[in-house]
Each structure stands twice: as C-alpha cells, then as structure tokens.
Amino acid sequence: MSVIEVTHLRKRYGDLVAVDDVSFAVEPGEIFGILGPNGAGKTTTVECVAGLRVPDGGGVSVLGLDPRRDAAQLRQRVGVQLQESQLPDRLRVAEALELYASFYRNPADPAALMDRLGLGEKRNTAYKKLSGGQKQRLSIALALVGNPEIAILDELTTGLDPQARRDTWGLIEQVRDSGVTIVLVTHFMEEAERLCDRVAVIDRGLVVALDSPAGLVSRVAPEQRIRFRPSAPVDDRLLSDLPEVSAVQRTGSQVVVTGTGDLLHAVTSVLARHQIVAADLRLEQSTLDDAFVELTGHRPVD
Amino acid sequence: MHAFRQILRIETRLYLRDLPTLLTTVGLPTLILVVIGLVPSLRKPDPTFDGQTFVSYFAPSLLVVTLAMVGVNTLPSVLATYRERGVLRRLATTPAHPAALLAAQLVLALAGILASAVLLIVVGRLAFGVPFPRHPLGFALAFVLGTASLLALGLLVAAVARTTKAAQALAVPLFLVTMFFGGVYLPRFLLPDVVARIGDYTPPGVQALLDAWTGTSPQPLHLAIMAVIAVAAGASAAKLFRWE
Ligand SMILES: Nc1ncnc2c1ncn2[C@@H]1O[C@H](COP(=O)(O)OP(=O)(O)OP(=O)(O)O)[C@@H](O)[C@H]1O
Ligand SMILES: [Mg+2]
C-alpha cells in the first residue's frame, strides 16, 4: 500500500493556478523526488501533503489518513522541512532541537542528531550566528527529531557547499535505511540521480513525467554517443549494421557512434572480434539534466 | 498544554536574553519617575492636582508608557516577525499548535507589564512618597482591563499586518496616540479639556488608573469601555489572525 497518495491535486492562489493536476503515489521506504523549475508548484504540492494548505480539488491521503482531518495524528508521524522557515535569532541549536523533541511522543535523541548532522560543536550557538549551511542542517534535524515515518524535505541541500551536500545525502540514505519514507523536493539533478528511487517532474502545475531517474533519462533522451580512435581502419558498415547503432560519423581520425541500449558493449565486442583496439574511448550519455531540459524546456538551476 | 509549557520556558529565556528590550520595558517608566522625582518642586503638594504632588499625579501616565510599549509595540512586532520568518508555520507542522507560541508571548507581555508596574509603584512609594493605590480593588480592575484592552489592540495589529514592516507602520501611530491621550507627552492638566476627556476612554484608561490610585473607585463607564474594547479587539484578532 502506498504511504502517500495524491490524486488530481489542484490548488489556486486567487487567479493563479499553482497546482493544476498532480497525481502520484509514494511507496513505503522509498525516496521520492519532486523535480521542476521555479514556480512549478512543488512546494505547494508538498504543503498540501503536509496538511499546511487546503487543496481546491483532488485528494491527498497520507498513511491512509486525511492531512486536514487527521492532522493531530499525522503531525506525530510526518516530519516536515519547509523551504523558507527560520527560527528566532537568539534561539540556540540545542534549545531548538530539545524544544521540538519535547513535542513528540517518541523523539530522537537531540544530542545524537546534532552529532549526526555535524552540529555538535554549534550546540550553544544562537540561530542568528549560524552559517547558511548550518541553518539548513538544523532545519533538517528539526524535521527528523520526531522520529517520523515520513520526512518531507523541501529544498534539502540548497545553500550547502558541495561537501556538506554530499554529507547530507549520506545522512538521507541512512535515514531511508532506517525505514523512513522520504519525499524530496529538489533542484539538483545530481541529487535526484543519486538519492531518488523515483522522480516526478512537475512543470506549470502538471506532472510531465514520473519514473526512476535512469528511466527518465532513457525515455526522454535515450541517445548515447561513443567516440574512439580505431587502431586499424574500420568499415563503417561493421558498426552501422549493429541494431544498437543509429549513426556512424567520422571526424578526422575519430569515429563517433550514436545509438541506444547497450551500445558500449555492442561496439566494443564487434571491434574485439576484428582485433581492433579502440583508443581514447569515451562514452557520452545523456544525463537527468538533458531529460529535465527536454521535459520542461528549462535549464535546471546550478 | 505540555507543548505550551515547553514553549513558554524557551520563550522566557529568549525574552531574558534580549536585555535592551527587557530593561526598557521594565525600567523605563521608573527611570522617568526618578528623573521627575529629583525635581524638588514636583514633590510638593499642589492644589492643581487636588493637593497631591505632580509625581503622584503623573505616575499613572508612566504606567501607560509600559502598557503602550508592550501592548501595541513589542507584542505585535514579535508576532509579526515570527510569522514573517515562518516560525509559526514551522510550528504548525509539529504536534504543537502555533497558538501555544502566541499564548506564551501574551504571558511574557503580561509578566513584563506586571514587573514594570510593581517596580514603578514600589519605587514611587519608597523614594517619592507616592502612596500605594488607595483603592486596591478598583486599581487592580482598571489595570487589568486597561492592559487587556491594549494587548487586544496589539493582537489585532499582529492579526491584520502581513509583514513586520506593516505591523510597525500600524503600531507606531497607535503607540503615539496611546501615549498622547495617556498624558505622557504632555501632562493631562495641560491638555485641552476635551482631549483629556477623550483620554479617559482611550486604552488603557488613564483616568480610571488615576482615580483608583488616589482613592476613589474608578467610574464604571470608564471600566466598561475598556472591557468592550478588549473584547471587541480580541475577538476580531482571533477571527482575523493569520498563521502565515
Ligand atoms: N502563498 C502564496 N500566495 C500566492 N501565490 C503563491 C503562494 N505561494 C506560491 N505562490 C505561487 O504559486 C506558484 C507555485 O509556487 P511554489 O512555491 O509551489 O513553486 P515551487 O515549485 O516550489 O518553486 P521553487 O522551485 O521556486 O521553490 C508560483 O507561481 C508562486 O508564485
Ligand atoms: Mg519551492
């Protein structure tokens, strides 16, 4: 059974349709990504899931419950990190975590959580004095301090440096491994590729694709390209006869083969059979970036 | 209830950590009292003030200073800041309701007002012979209703202002008007009679405070008006309050 089900969700702000028609289901234990350009309706969607906004249409069910009607129950079981939400300037890290921990029936240990998020040394630092990345990590910690079954993280690593971003990914994987289902709103393709089991791409309030990151890439931009310099002359037809190959071009001494499927294996084995060595071999694959551009017509930020 | 206690504990710490605001809230009226009290002629009984000293006559207006500062200035700007920064929204995602934070702020506002009033009354009594309120029950009533009316107005400001800036834009004129009619800028005997009479009915109702302090029971109409303002502003605030 899905832990989150969103069906034909619709949400307007006055005349502006922020979410037009969004449906997806999140399975237990997965990391579900929500990707999309600025203003696509990602935050609005997860805020409806978190029960912070009332949808104008469609249905949302979380852990089999209604986010508005069963809000009291769900707040114990769902942790939320909001995209734009700060804390009082003078509140210290440990105070914030201990305060939030006190709201839950079965909280995590604030001290352990601080250590896991690299905030141990900052425990007595006021919120105002934290760096952007430290604020972000505190925000993640607050979403996890209730030991939630579902964590909704909006813009998890925005504002973090590359190292902190990787550390946070490691942390999220640990959290997932402990059985928490995670909904992750992100702008970073690398993050989605690394973390997400499945991704919904939202554009202008609509789901334009829903698949695994690899699935999205191969569906939208399946082309792969191999470049190499053959050690001996190769007949083009040797390569173009392969079912995986769609085109063979030459630029100087270089051969460029484009195609789909298991292209690399097909090309290298046919070359090996003819005792040709492929020097300077490079495989260029489409990435989630390309898929994103293809799907939304926008360059992803970063 | 549990969440409220925890939030109150933390908010109290934050309140005590903000030393400048704390000192101003609690100490400013008493400081002004001391400065005025150092002028010998203001410590002499004067027929203009029914035979009281100017210091005694002016003390209730000093109470207005704290009430106005906390009620229509500090309280709405703290709440508006919390809303603007998403503190209330974030709390709404947890099992604690953001109303607990609002309640904690109200408790702290009351505590600050009470501390300030006690300090003023005690220092006035010990240093300058300002008598303790002679009609204690009436004074307590006037004080509670006056405080309630200003806090309710402060909540109303916090309710309708979407941003911190907007809250301040509303709070500052309200503050100035409260102080003016409360006889803080110009002692009330210097104000035109009609202005002073209006001041009897503007929160926090300085005439009722003065009456009770000097011995007669406050006029029921003065008290009733404060109660009406408190209830009306409080109810509108509750109706209009936005958590985000
Ligand atoms: N509270 C609000 N009132 C009015 N309009 C809003 C509000 N919140 C969002 N919007 C509008 O709704 C649309 C969707 O916003 P949303 O925040 O859901 O986008 P998003 O996908 O999260 O964008 P981003 O990547 O920039 O965070 C935007 O056009 C935005 O301007
Ligand atoms: Mg967003």
pLDDT number for residue A162: 86
pLDDT number for residue A223: 78
pLDDT number for residue A145: 96
pLDDT number for residue A187: 81
Q: Find the mean pLDDT for residues A20-28.
A: 97
Q: Which of A238-252, A284-298, B69-83 has the highest mean pLDDT?
A: B69-83
Q: How far is B227 from chain A (nearest CA, A)?
A: 33
Chain B partners within 8 Å of A78 (Cβ): 93
pLDDT band at B214 (very low <50, low <70, confident <90, very high): confident
Residue A290 forms part of a structural domain: no
pLDDT number for residue B177: 94
pLDDT number for residue A161: 83
Residue A50 shares a structural domain with residue A190: yes
| CATH code of the domain covering residue A192 | 3.40.50.300
Residue A292 forms part of a structural domain: no
Q: Find the mean pLDDT for residues B41-59.
A: 90
Q: Find the mean pLDDT for residues A12-37.
A: 95
pLDDT number for residue A301: 56
| pLDDT mean across residues, chain B | 93
pLDDT number for residue A300: 61
pLDDT number for residue B162: 85
ipTM: 0.90
Q: Tell me the per-residue pLDDT of A30-56, one tens digit each, with 9 for 90 and over.
A: 999 999 989 999 999 999 999 999 999
Examine the pLDDT at B37 and tell me if it is beyond 60. yes
Q: Find the mean pLDDT for residues A230-246.
A: 89
Alpha carbon of A206 to ligand 2 centroid (Å):
15
| Domain that residue A34 falls in | 4-218
Residue A175 shares a structural domain with residue A230: no
pLDDT band at A221 (very low <50, low <70, confident <90, very high): low
Residue A162 shares a structural domain with residue A244: no
Q: Which residue of A has its CA nearest to B94?
A: A75
Percent of chain A predicted with pLDDT > 90: 64
Q: Find the mean pLDDT for residues A284-298.
A: 75
* Contact criterion met (CB below 8 Å) for B43 and B172: no
Q: Find the mean pLDDT for residues A268-289.
A: 86
Q: Find the mean pLDDT for residues A63-76.
A: 95
Cα dihedral value A31, A36, A37, A42, nearest 10: -80
B-proximal residues of A, 75-114, CB under 8 Å: 75-76, 78-80, 82, 84-88, 90-91, 95, 99-100, 102-104
User: Are B10 and A91 an interchain contact pair (Cβ–Cβ within 8 Å)?
Assistant: yes
**What is the pTM (predicted TM-score) of this model?**
0.86
For ligand 1, mutation pick of A43, A154, A204, A302 (most atoms within 8 Å of CB): A43
Tokens of A249: 């071009």
User: Are A103 and B3 an interchain contact pair (Cβ–Cβ within 8 Å)?
Assistant: yes
For ligand 1, mutation pick of A15, A35, A44 (most atoms within 8 Å of CB): A44
pLDDT number for residue B49: 87
* Contact criterion met (CB below 8 Å) for B92 and B102: no
pLDDT number for residue A157: 83
Chain B partners within 8 Å of A82 (Cβ): 86, 89-90, 93
| Domain that residue B126 falls in | 2-240
Count of domains forming chain A: 2
Tokens of B87: 């503190």
User: Are B7 and A99 an interchain contact pair (Cβ–Cβ within 8 Å)?
Assistant: yes
pLDDT number for residue B64: 93
Residue A160 shares a structural domain with residue A251: no
Contacts of B209 (CB under 8 A, 6+ apart): B60, B63, B64, B139, B142, B143, B146, B218
- When CB atoms are compared, the residue of A75, A90, A102 closest to B93 is A75
User: Are B94 and A87 an interchain contact pair (Cβ–Cβ within 8 Å)?
Assistant: no
Which residues, listed in sequence order, are joined to residue A32 by a DSSP beta bridge?
Answer: A183, A198
Examine the pLDDT at B145 and tell me if it is beyond 70. yes
Percent of chain B predicted with pLDDT > 90: 86
Residue A157 shares a structural domain with residue A175: yes
pLDDT number for residue A50: 95
Residue A151 shares a structural domain with residue A35: yes
Residue A30 shares a structural domain with residue A175: yes
Residue A90 forms part of a structural domain: yes
Q: Tell me the per-residue pLDDT of A118-170, one tens digit each, with 9 for 90 and over.
A: 899 999 999 999 998 899 889 999 999 999 999 999 988 887 888 888 888 88
pLDDT number for residue A75: 96
Q: How far is A154 from chain B (nearest CA, A)?
A: 12
pLDDT number for residue A216: 83
Q: How far is B1 from chain A (nearest CA, A)?
A: 10
Alpha carbon of B85 to ligand 2 centroid (Å):
16
pLDDT number for residue B92: 93
pLDDT number for residue A260: 83
pLDDT band at A1 (very low <50, low <70, confident <90, very high): confident
Q: Report which of B182, B239, B205 is spatially closest to residue B32, judged by C-alpha positions.
A: B182
Please count the residues of chain B: 244
Q: Which of A242-246, A264-268, B151-155, B191-195 has the highest mean pLDDT?
A: B151-155
| CATH code of the domain covering residue A275 | 3.30.70.980
User: Are A85 and B86 an interchain contact pair (Cβ–Cβ within 8 Å)?
Assistant: yes
Examine the pLDDT at A69 and tell me if it is beyond 70. yes
Count of domains forming chain B: 1
Concatenate the DSSP letters of all residues of A153-199 into one string: EESSSTT--HHHHHHHHHHHHHHHHTT-EEEEEES-HHHHHHH-SEE
User: Are A88 and B18 an interchain contact pair (Cβ–Cβ within 8 Å)?
Assistant: no
Closest atom of ligand 1 to A44 CA is 18
Examine the pLDDT at A299 and tell me if it is beyond 80. no
Ligand 1 pocket by Cβ (under 6 Å):
A 13, 16, 18, 36, 38-44, 83
| pLDDT mean across residues, chain A | 91
Examine the pLDDT at A272 and tell me if it is beyond 60. yes
Chain B partners within 8 Å of A76 (Cβ): 95
Alpha carbon of A298 to ligand 1 centroid (Å):
17
Q: How many CB atoms lie within 10 A of CB B149?
A: 26
- Distance of alpha carbon B59 from alpha carbon B55, whole angstroms: 6
Amino acid identity, position A44: T
pLDDT number for residue A251: 87
Residue A38 forms part of a structural domain: yes
Query: Could you tell me which residues of chain B have a Cβ less than 8 Å from any Cβ in chain A?
Result: 2-3, 6-7, 10, 13-14, 17-18, 82, 85-87, 89-90, 92-96, 244
DSSP code at position A242? S
Examine the pLDDT at B199 and tell me if it is beyond 80. yes
Alpha carbon of A16 to ligand 1 centroid (Å):
10
Residue A110 shares a structural domain with residue A182: yes
Q: Whose CA is nearest to atom 8 of ligand 1?
A: A44
Residue of A78, A91, A105 to mutate for B, most B C-beta atoms under 10 A: A91
